């Protein structure tokens, strides 16, 4: 039993960094101590304690407290630790914790962040609140510039702080410039080289710069093979190019080649996480905009279209089954194999489409490699289908020894061949659709959810009855 009247020993209240999606029991005592101090209104003690903690640890504490306690704690924190905590919080937690704080507190917090971080946080607020905050911030021009770029583009997520020097600058002068700007720019991996007009002409890695003689001009040691992206390039394409070229940072240039900013390693990691979460939601038949704290109306709005699309697909499959009503009446045993066929079609299609989407996302699937990949999927699915068909045929024959079945050999042949055809066709469709969607500019992850499942269910049922009519009822 905790005693809220006793003065807690702050040195004994520590936090152990928790792995993702896991809570450590060792932190429970600290959680209770902080909660008791919040209930007792001991603001200064809480502030003194959390100033000693890393912002990530404070963020983890916030997300484990009850919402009303987390809001109060966040209001108690002075601007300096709050700034770092806000930067660590996931968007859904930011919007929940800060919804009752004042505009002045928002301004104090956001004023200490980089413009790109501020812009990202402002995206979580309603438009009227965001506009009011932008008007109060000191870097309003930089924030407004970032806000002009579309969401999920390089211009929206780029950092505007970088080291850019002219070609005739010496290595020694470049090192001095890096030291002068070390406080302004947290981590410098690459120095960008520009011509007299400010256009990007090359890059020099920091390691190479430090090893070069101090009088060496940058033009003699710079890498002229520079891969840059435009500000309107989709962030997923930026990530793909960075992985393909093994780049730690990616420069962003204007249409005429002037350097605008850079995509930092932190931003690349964030893009990878965002894209993975978006693909996961799309593959599950959920809107990419879904959040854990969505209202009932927003949940319905985000999920209902996908559910209705699945309903249409299921209705078409039911219509196909209904059109073979006479065949089912003649041989009711066929109904037992419909779930088997639909399951195999769905699984084969999902497996093939998942591999295709992954290849597209990572850049491993090249245009010249598409036909070869499709042929591999076709023959692999054919081989899997043959094995699955043989297993199913054997099970039918074994079952006929226990349960009386009419023409078991023909039934085994019909079900086995249908499984071979369904598996092969479903995998081919599953591998092809994401590639087609990617070519026409649609996120290929959309193919994995309702679309692939529904289409393969319809094709699977249709093929099954065609085989059954030909080899069992014919």
Q: Residue 4 pLDDT > 50, yes or no?
A: no
Length, in residues, of the chain: 474
284 vs 175, 306, 352, CA distance in Å? 50, 9, 16
70 vs 24, 118, 126, 155, 219, CA distance in Å? 19, 21, 21, 33, 53
Domain end (from 96, 126, 152): 152
Q: pLDDT tens for residues 235-255?
A: 888 888 888 788 888 888 888
Q: Which CATH number goes with the domain that contains 374? A: 1.10.357.20
* In a domain? residue 399: yes
The token duo for 224 is 């002229």
* In a domain? residue 406: yes
Lowest-pLDDT choice from 137-146, 249-258, 416-425, 438-447: 137-146
* In a domain? residue 288: no
Q: Rounded mean pLDDT of 371-397?
A: 87
| 302: confidence class by pLDDT, cuts 50, 70, 90 | low
In a shared domain, residues 454 and 381: yes
Given this model, what pLDDT does residue 433 score? 81
Residue 175 lies in domain: 164-283
The token duo for 120 is 């990202």
Q: Are 35 and 65 in contact (CB under 8 A)?
A: yes
Q: Which CATH number goes with the domain that contains 172? A: 3.10.580.10
Domain end (from 242, 258, 283): 283
Given this model, what pLDDT does residue 133 score? 67
Q: Which residue has the higher pLDDT, 127 or 163?
A: 163
Q: pLDDT tens for residues 180-211?
A: 776 666 677 788 888 888 888 888 888 888 88
Lowest-pLDDT choice from 72-81, 349-358, 461-470: 72-81
Q: Residue 22 pLDDT > 80, yes or no?
A: no
In a shared domain, residues 30 and 171: no
In a shared domain, residues 248 and 338: no
Return the DSSP state at 413. H
Could you give the 3-state DSSP secondary structure of residue 401? Answer: coil
In a shared domain, residues 89 and 185: no
The token duo for 37 is 């101090």
List b or e across 282-311, with b for residues whose CB sees 16 or more CB atoms inside 10 angstroms.
bbebbbbebbeebeeeeeeebbeebeebbe
Domain end (from 120, 152, 184): 152
Q: What is the tally of structural domains in the chain?
A: 3
In a shared domain, residues 341 and 466: yes
Specify burial of residue 374 (Cβ count, 10 A radius: 0-12, 13-18, 19+): middle
In a shared domain, residues 467 and 377: yes
* In a domain? residue 5: no
Q: Are 222 and 201 in contact (CB under 8 A)?
A: yes
Q: Residue 46 pLDDT > 80, yes or no?
A: yes
Locate the DSSP E strands across 322-453.
none
Lowest-pLDDT choice from 44-48, 179-183, 294-298, 394-398: 294-298
* In a domain? residue 126: yes
DSSP states of 307-350 as a string?
HHHHHHHHHHHHHHHHHTHHHHHH-GGGGGGHHHHHHHHHHHHH
In a shared domain, residues 242 and 278: yes
CA distance 211 to 111: 38
* In a domain? residue 436: yes
């Amino acid at each position: 039993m905790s005693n809220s009247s006793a003065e807690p020993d702050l040195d004994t209240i520590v936090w152990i960094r928790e792995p993702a999606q896991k809570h450590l029991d060792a932190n429970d005592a600290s959680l209770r101590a902080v909660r008791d101090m919040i209930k007792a209104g001991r603001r200064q003690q809480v502030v003194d304690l959390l100033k000693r903690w890393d912002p990530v640890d404070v963020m983890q504490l916030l997300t484990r407290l009850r919402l009303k306690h987390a809001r109060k704690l966040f209001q108690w924190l002075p601007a300096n630790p709050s700034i770092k905590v806000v930067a660590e919080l996931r968007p859904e937690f930011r919007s929940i914790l800060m919804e009752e704080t004042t505009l002045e507190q928002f301004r104090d917090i956001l004023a200490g962040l980089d413009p790109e971080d501020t812009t990202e946080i402002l995206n979580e607020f309603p438009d009227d609140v965001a506009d009011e905050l932008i008007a109060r911030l000191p870097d309003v021009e930089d924030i407004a510039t970032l806000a002009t770029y579309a969401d999920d583009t390089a211009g929206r997520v780029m950092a505007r702080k970088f080291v850019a020097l002219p070609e005739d600058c010496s290595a020694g002068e470049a090192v001095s410039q890096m030291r002068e700007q070390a406080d302004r720019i947290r981590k410098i991996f690459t120095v960008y080289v520009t011509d007299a007009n400010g256009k990007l002409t090359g890059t020099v890695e920091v390691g190479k710069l430090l090893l070069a003689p101090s009088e060496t001009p940058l033009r003699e040691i710079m890498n002229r093979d520079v891969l840059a992206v435009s500000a309107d390039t989709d962030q997923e394409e930026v990530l793909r190019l960075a992985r393909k070229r093994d780049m730690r940072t990616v420069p962003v240039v204007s249409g005429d080649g002037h350097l605008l900013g850079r995509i930092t390693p932190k931003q690349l990691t964030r893009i990878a996480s965002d894209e993975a979460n978006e693909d996961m939601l799309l593959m599950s038949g959920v809107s990419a905009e879904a959040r854990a704290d969505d209202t009932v109306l927003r949940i319905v709005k985000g999920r209902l279209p996908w559910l209705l699309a699945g309903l249409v697909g299921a209705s078409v499959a039911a219509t196909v089954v209904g059109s073979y009503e006479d065949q089912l009446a003649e041989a009711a045993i066929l109904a037992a194999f419909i779930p088997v066929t639909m399951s195999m079609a769905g699984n084969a299609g999902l497996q093939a489409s998942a591999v295709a989407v992954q290849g597209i996302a990572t850049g491993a699937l090249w245009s010249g490699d598409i036909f070869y990949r499709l042929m591999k999927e076709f023959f692999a699915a054919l081989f899997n289908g043959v094995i699955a068909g043989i297993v199913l045929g054997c099970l039918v024959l074994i079952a006929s020894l226990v349960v009386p079945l009419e023409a078991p050999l023909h039934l085994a042949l019909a079900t086995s061949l249908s499984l071979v055809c369904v598996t092969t066709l479903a995998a081919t469709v599953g591998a092809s659709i994401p590639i087609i969607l990617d070519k026409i500019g649609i996120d290929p992850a959309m193919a994995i959810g309702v679309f692939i499942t529904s289409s393969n269910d319809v094709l699977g049922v249709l093929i099954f009855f065609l085989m059954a009519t030909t080899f069992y009822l014919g």
